[in-house]
Amino acid sequence: MGKDAKKSKKSKRSKEKKEKRRRRDSSDDSSSDEDARKQNKNEKLIQRIVEHQKKHKKVDSEYTDEANPFGDPNFSKPFVWGKKIEKQIAEGVDVREMSAKAEAKRHQSRLEEAEKVKKRQEQREAEREAMQAELEMIQRERAAAEAVELERKQEDFLLEQSKMRSQARLAEGRPRAVDALAALVYDLPGVDPAELDPGSLLYGPGATLGLLRELRADAAAFQELDRVDAGRAAFWAALETVVGAGLAEAQREEEVDRAKARGEPTPAQYAVREAGWHGSIEADVRAMLAGKTLRELGDLEARIGEQLDSGEAADPEYWQAVLTRLSVERARAFLREFHAEKVRRSTAAMLAEVDVPAAMGWDGAAQEEGGGRRGG
């Protein structure tokens, strides 16, 4: 009885195992069929999507199937990436996202993004070029400023050398014509401005043609080197005007005298009378201008200029000739007033250093007077 029960139980377990195996095999077959159906469905879907995209996708190219650089007979046919579509379907991407319209939209979006990237690159390139140009401009300006500063230092050095040479020649008793004027302008030590009269140097009997030529060249050198200080620049400019006028007059006299000595006629350039001018009125005009201050001459020049500009001048050529002489007279007035101001400052400085009561003996007299009162 025990053996039969064991056999029955063993047979039962064997049947159960077979049933489980049968069911598992049946389930595997059913799953395989389902997978096959899904695979077939996906393949059909992929094929429809590929055909849809090929149908609606456009190929814009200047090449044809017969003429293209790749030798591709299917060049004009749109390319559709089937593996990509298969992967998208496997990943569960919405089929609507794989339509030709959606692809065209994405393509347009990519083009727009590429255009934005291109514009950003162009903008960065333009900014880089602008920065480079600005940097180069700054470098040029810096180099120019350095060159100007170097030139200024060189001019300052050369100016100091010129002043030292003038001072040395004055100290050694062998001055050139410009040295006295340089001493006046730059307050060179050991020189009293009161003893320096530009007028006697420029208009006196010693103002020969050779001296004026030498003075003009030396003064031009100072004028070229000393352009920073407005007052000194104005002095050298006025000197240039006066010396130029004196040089022209001295040259005229020399050439006329030479012609007379040789028994020749007056040189042609001096024989022609100046428009609106006659020698007989020279003295009258000089008398009219003489003794006027720089300001008075400036006012007179302005009034004559206004009359000429308005057309109200009775004799325009005459007044134009007067203006020519007036500009020279203004330069002379400037030199006079410049010299007078230097003398005034020098005198004031000397007086500030002198004990006037002691120099005049007032201190001793005051003490004696005070002592006499106390004794009385």
More confident residue, 99 or 302: 302
Question: How far is residue 315 from each of residues 221, 277, 311, 325, measured CA to CA in Å?
Answer: 40, 10, 10, 16
Closest CA to 151 of 225, 211, 86, 53: 225
pLDDT of residue 239: 94
Between helix 2-56 and helix 82-90 the angle, nearest 10°, is 130
> In the predicted model, what is the mean pLDDT of the chain?
80
**Start-end of H helices in the chain:** 2-56, 82-90, 100-171, 177-186, 198-203, 209-225, 230-261, 268-271, 282-289, 294-310, 316-353, 356-360, 362-375
Cα(197)–Cα(193) distance, integer angstroms: 8
Model confidence over 12-57: pLDDT tens digits?
Answer: 777 777 777 766 655 555 667 676 777 777 677 767 766 776 666 6
- In this prediction, residues 55-70 reach a mean pLDDT of 64
Which tokens hold the place of 292? 């006027």
Cβ(243)–Cβ(215) under 8 Å?
yes
Most confident range (mean pLDDT) of 83-92, 173-182, 314-323 is 173-182
Indicate whether 337 pLDDT > 90: yes
- Least confident range from 71-80, 175-184, 237-246: namely 71-80
77: CB partners within 8 A, 6+ apart:
54, 59, 65
Domain contains 54: no
Residue 308: predicted pLDDT: 84
Is pLDDT of 124 > 90?
A: yes
Quick: pLDDT tens for 219-236. Answer: 999 999 998 899 999 999
Q: By percentage, how much of the chain surpasses pLDDT 90?
A: 28
Q: Is a pLDDT exceeding 80 seen at residue 370?
A: no
Provide mean pLDDT across the span 271-276: 62
Q: How far is CA 91 from CA 87, 94, 95, in A?
A: 6, 9, 11
Decide which of 142 and 11 is more confident. 142
pLDDT in tens, 77-116: 666 666 776 777 777 777 676 676 777 787 788 889 989 9
Q: Is the pLDDT of residue 296 over 90?
A: yes
Count: domains in the chain: 1
The answer to whether residue 292 is domain-embedded is yes
- The pLDDT of residue 334 is 94
Q: What is the DSSP letter of 233?
A: H
C-alpha to C-alpha distance for 231 and 236, rounded to whole angstroms? 9
Q: Is residue 236 part of a domain?
A: yes
Q: Which domain holds residue 347?
A: 178-364
pLDDT for position 376: 43
Q: What is the DSSP string of 292-331?
A: --HHHHHHHHHHHHHHHHHT--S-HHHHHHHHHHHHHHHH
- Residue 370 falls inside a structural domain: no
- Say whether pLDDT at 356 is over 70: no
Weakest-pLDDT range from 105-114, 274-283, 310-319, 351-360: 274-283
Q: Are 276 and 317 in contact (CB under 8 A)?
A: yes
pLDDT digits (tens, 9 = 90+) for 156-171: 999 999 999 999 998 8
Query: Does the pLDDT value for residue 366 go beyond 60?
Result: no
Which pLDDT score is estimated for 104? 76
Q: Please check whether residue 321 lies inside any domain of the structure.
A: yes
Percent of the chain with pLDDT over 70: 73
Is residue 284 in some structural domain?
A: yes
Angle of CA points 203, 205, 207, to nearest 5°? 55
- Say which range, 80-94, 166-180, 336-350, has the weakest mean pLDDT: 80-94
| Position 186 pLDDT exceeds 90 | yes
Residue 38: count of CB within 10 angstroms of its CB: 10
Give the C-alpha separation, 157 to 176, whole Å: 21
Q: What is the mean pLDDT of residues 206-230?
A: 89
Residue 122 belongs to some domain of the structure: no
Among 195-204, 252-261, 286-295, the minimum mean pLDDT is found in 195-204
Give the residue with greater pLDDT, 362 vs 237. 237
Residue 262 included in any domain: yes
